[in-house]
Amino acid sequence: MVEEPNYKIVWGIAALGHDASISVVKDSKIVFAAHSERYSRIKNDDRLNDQIINEALQYGYPEKIVWHEKPYLKKVRQALAGQWSEVFNKEVLPERYLKKFLPKLPPIEYALHHKSHAAAGAYTSPFNEATVVVLDAIGEFNTCSIWKYDFPNTLTKIETSNYPSSFGLLYSAFTQRCGLKPNEEEYILMGMAAYGEPKYAEQIKKDFIRSMTPLKLKQNVHAGIGNYLPEAKTEDLAASIQAVAEEFIVKYCEYAIDKTGIKDIVYMGGVALNCVANTKLLDVCESIWIMPNPGDSGNSLGAALLGQEFISLWPGPYLGTDIPGIYPVKDVIKELETNQICGVAHGRAEFGPRALGNRSLLADPRGEDIKDKVNAIKKRQKFRPFAPVILAEELENYFEINTNQSPYMQFTAKAKPDTIKNFPAIVHADGTARVQTVTAWDNPGLRRILEVWFEKTKCPMLLNTSLNIRGEPLVNTEQDALNFQHKYGVKVISRWVQKLHEIEVDPAGLVDKIKNKKSEEGGRNH
């Protein structure tokens, strides 16, 4: 007989740090997980808002809330770091903060930051036992941690490295040194690395790293590294810190495997978003699981799962706001054939930083000028790579990679010579691509688009990037999709856009006009 969970509705909340989120586990099922920024339209918004609260409430009032970290322990670390304004700020205490949104607070529990990371990965993984590695900037004190996972819900801490020794902070410091925004644009630094030479990698290790396993830094880099190596080219600095990152991540995961004796790895934390380094791990472990939202916003899911005290099967990453109906395959294909580029906003929004087909900008990857056209729309730097979304069974015909599936864009693959020649828009400067494989289980709508596209063009892939422009969150709602279409001149196919694309209207007041039209039709399709 299967034991029922102690609490039927548990919320996990990650907020007041950066990239706030809420996850809901109900009756042992993950039913909702979303980013606050998608509702507020403020990139990396660290605050909650009424919109995300109200959507979470659609699944029932929480019987328990689990906060993703221990705030008082965090304040001790902030005191040691001299962040006194944060130490004395009582408004960031969860009980006081949540009263602004919930008139009757349920019991609140607090999880360790790194345990939330570990649970988000381990409890959604396919493993009965695993080595769990968490690498991020900083939680309360932990910066690196190793855990042993045993099915269904046992996490045993093996070892930690603590503040100020943090590889995440070191990589962020180099992000800032290269003129990018720390804690936000590390992925841009990763893309920039392909344009440089790692000529300073050994110097960086000599200047900053005392030991990789366990991690110990020579200095605190929390406040940055100033104008380190002022004579160095930016792209060479990017290549150098990326090379150090790849070496560190591989060595640390090998070290973790030695500690547990288990070669199946669950890998979490913000550092796990480095897909170039992730690829190196495919040669280290038997198999690897990275939950599609491994950074801090993913901690809300880990916290909720810790609070449920019951195993929850992974339902896939499509857990946010729903745009219902039939995936608009026909209209997307038509737009791609006509204009080469098409937005799609349909189904439930992805939980995580990457668009996986439900809030995506799709494009024909064969044109020489496609990359420039998409960059112009998204207002991105030219050196940043794009990802191909490809039929899973066609992966090996176009790319070389030590895995047969990559459904969440977590690894890079070496493009074969014909791929480089025929699909230049999706191949980066180093000859790789961050692939997303698609099966009918992963995303049936996107799968059908690729099947039809393949039948028509003999091309099994499309360029896939997020439906947003630089500095803005992903499109979330139908109204967001319409606003994007009107503002940036790109057709976005969704239920409402599909139905009303012939109607000449200003985006302002469009929702009311649609509601009035439905009322005139007798309330059909509400």
374 and 398 within one domain: yes
Does residue 2 surpass a pLDDT of 50? Answer: no
- What's the mean pLDDT in 500-517? 39
461 and 348 within one domain: yes
Does residue 322 surpass a pLDDT of 90? Answer: yes
Instruction: Convert the pLDDT of each residue in 251-277 to its tens digit.
Output: 999 999 999 999 999 999 999 999 999
Which of the four pLDDT bands, split at 50, 70 and 90, describes residue 515?
Answer: very low
* Full DSSP string of 433-465: E--EEE-TTT-HHHHHHHHHHHHHHS--EEEEE
Residue 506: predicted pLDDT: 38
Per the structure, the complete domain to which residue 108 belongs is given by 9-123+297-315
Query: Residue 103's CB: how many other CB atoms inside 10 A?
Result: 6
In a domain, 509, yes or no: no
Token pair, residue 495, equals 């239920």
Cα separation, 47 vs 297, whole angstroms:
12
Which of the four pLDDT bands, split at 50, 70 and 90, describes residue 120?
Answer: very high
**Which residue in the block uniquely carries the two structure tokens 């939680």?**
139
371 and 281 within one domain: no
Residue 3: predicted pLDDT: 58
Boundary of a domain, candidates 315, 349, 371: 315
In a domain, 518, yes or no: no
306 and 356 within one domain: no
Helix (H) or strand (E) holding 363: strand 359-363
In a domain, 526, yes or no: no
Does residue 518 surpass a pLDDT of 80? Answer: no
Instruction: Convert the pLDDT of each residue in 446-497 to its tens digit.
Output: 999 999 999 999 999 999 999 999 889 999 999 999 999 999 999 999 864 4
Instruction: Convert the pLDDT of each residue in 284-305 to its tens digit.
Output: 999 999 999 999 999 999 999 9
Contact 181, 191 (CB under 8 A): no
89 and 225 within one domain: no
Q: What is the CATH number of the domain that holds 451?
A: 3.90.870.20
Instruction: Convert the pLDDT of each residue in 306-315 to its tens digit.
Output: 998 777 789 9
DSSP type of residue 367 = -
Give the count of domains, the chain: 3
3-state secondary structure 251-285: HHHHHHHHHHCCCEEEEECHHHHCHHHHHHHCCCC
In a domain, 418, yes or no: yes
Which of the four pLDDT bands, split at 50, 70 and 90, describes residue 512?
Answer: very low
In a domain, 502, yes or no: no
Cα separation, 171 vs 242, whole angstroms:
8
218 and 280 within one domain: yes
**Which residue in the block uniquely carries the two structure tokens 């979470």?**
56
262 and 213 within one domain: yes
Residue 475: predicted pLDDT: 97
3-state secondary structure 44-71: CCCCCCHHHHHHHHCCCCCCEEEECCCH
- What's the mean pLDDT in 188-211? 97
Question: In the chain, pLDDT over 90 holds for what percent of residues?
Answer: 82
Does residue 431 surpass a pLDDT of 60? Answer: yes
Question: Quick one: how far is CA 285 from the chain centroid?
Answer: 22
pTM reported for the whole predicted model: 0.91
**Which residue in the block uniquely carries the two structure tokens 């969440």?**
408
Cα separation, 163 vs 186, whole angstroms:
20
In a domain, 137, yes or no: yes
Q: What is the CATH number of the domain that holds 180?
A: 3.30.420.40
Contact 518, 524 (CB under 8 A): yes
Does residue 352 surpass a pLDDT of 90? Answer: yes
Does residue 502 surpass a pLDDT of 60? Answer: no
Residue 309: predicted pLDDT: 75
In a domain, 525, yes or no: no
Which of the four pLDDT bands, split at 50, 70 and 90, describes residue 81?
Answer: confident
142 and 156 within one domain: yes
Which of the four pLDDT bands, split at 50, 70 and 90, describes residue 201?
Answer: very high
Residue 18: predicted pLDDT: 85
Residue 5: predicted pLDDT: 65
60 and 164 within one domain: no
301 and 268 within one domain: no
Instruction: Convert the pLDDT of each residue in 353-383 to its tens digit.
Output: 999 999 999 999 998 789 899 999 998 877 7
Which of the four pLDDT bands, split at 50, 70 and 90, describes residue 404?
Answer: confident
Mean pLDDT of the chain: 91
Q: In b/e form, how buried is each residue of 369-399, taking b as 16+ CB within 10 angstroms? A: ebbebbbebbebeebbbbbbbbbbebbeebb
Residue 312: predicted pLDDT: 78
In a domain, 183, yes or no: yes
**Which residue in the block uniquely carries the two structure tokens 């991105």?**
380
**152: preceding bond cis by omega (within 30 degrees):** yes
Task: Look at residues 345, 394, 393 and name the one whose alpha carbon lies nearest to residue 365.
Answer: 394
Cα separation, 220 vs 447, whole angstroms:
47
Which of the four pLDDT bands, split at 50, 70 and 90, describes residue 387?
Answer: very high
Task: Look at residues 355, 354, 279, 290 and name the one whose alpha carbon lies nearest to residue 126.
Answer: 290
119 and 134 within one domain: no
- What's the mean pLDDT in 218-230? 96
* Full DSSP string of 462-509: EEEEESS-TTSPPP-SHHHHHHHHHHH---EE-HHHHHHTTS---STT
Cα separation, 426 vs 402, whole angstroms:
19
487 and 386 within one domain: yes
Query: Inter-axis angle of helices 444-457 and 329-339, to 10 degrees?
Result: 40
